[in-house]
Amino acid sequence: MLRFAAAALVAASAVLSAAPAFAQDSNDYRVRVGLGVQIAPEYLGSDDHEFGPAFDFSLARGGDPFDFEAPDDSFGISLLDFGGFEAGPALNFERARRDKDVGAPVGKVPATVEAGAFVQYAIGSNFRLRSELRKGIGGHDGLVGNVGADLFWRDEDKFLVSAGPRLLFSNSRYQREFFGVTPAAALATGLPVYQPSGGIHAIGLAASTYAQISGPFGMFGFAGYDRLVGDAADSPIVQTFGSRDQLSAGVGLTYTFNIAR
């Protein structure tokens, strides 16, 4: 949603002067916006899935290709960028978990805006390392982050395929919100009281693809798989009502246009 909001602001301000990106002036900016559909778990640890919108937004200057972005990257802005190293603020949105999503009164986790930072390092032109650390603002109020590596193949902006492993970690406050069982919840559900600690809560894989269809039109797709581990996997909520296996996927169309400076 945050990435879509940024795309909407740029598109709204440029729609009258924008032209399809068939040719680029070195001083122009190119904007690529995408819209599609995705399927994802209803909440972290769920065995049910729901459909929702999928958005894409990328910005490049002149004839430079769009920067590679993995499907699970948070919205970020590079404030430091030199020698393949980048760093800057990161923003993400975690959906709410409601009792009706679980099917039992285990306790609501409000929707959460997560703010933090990312660092990444490109090794050559086809390999990237990236890590994020974010703090929940309201909602779960915990710390959550990830470390990942991506190998990708591309022909500038005509075609791109990527894949890489993920390691997801969080502190005890985050894990108690999503995987813990309070005494009140135990009394209401019959589950045992459970207080997980912090650490690695999932390992996974992420993959994506992009292809130019014709002129300014293209299409994107992505898929992800996370396997809950440690205290998260042992949670009575996951074992009774959910699943350790977390699958997601999406597909959509893109449109690229120029903004003259």
Domain boundaries, the chain: 37-52+66-253
In whole angstroms, give the CA distance from residue 205 to residue 226: 7
Report whether pLDDT(226) > 50. Answer: yes
What's the pTM? 0.85
CA distance 231 to 238: 10
**Mean of the per-residue pLDDT values for the chain?**
90
For 85, the 3-state DSSP assignment is strand
- pLDDT score, position 61: 87
Q: How confident is the model at residue 109 (pLDDT cuts 50, 70, 90)?
A: very high
Q: Give 164-184 pLDDT, tens digit per residue.
A: 999 999 999 999 999 999 999
pLDDT mean over 91-105: 95
Cα distance between residue 201 and residue 124, in whole Å: 30
Region 226-237 average pLDDT = 98
The DSSP code for 72 is: T
CA–CA separation, 75 vs 219, rounded Å? 20
pLDDT digits (tens, 9 = 90+) for 8-47: 434 434 433 444 554 455 668 899 999 999 999 999 999 9
Whether residue 66 has pLDDT greater than 50: yes
The rounded percent of the chain whose pLDDT value lies above 90 is 84
The per-residue b/e assignment along 199-222, b for 16 or more CB within 10 angstroms, e otherwise, is: eebbebebbbbbebeeebebebbb
Which residues neighbour 102 within 8 Å (Cβ) at sequence distance 6 or greater?
Answer: 43, 46, 237, 241, 242
| Residue 26 confidence (pLDDT) | 63
Maximum C-alpha span of the chain: 66
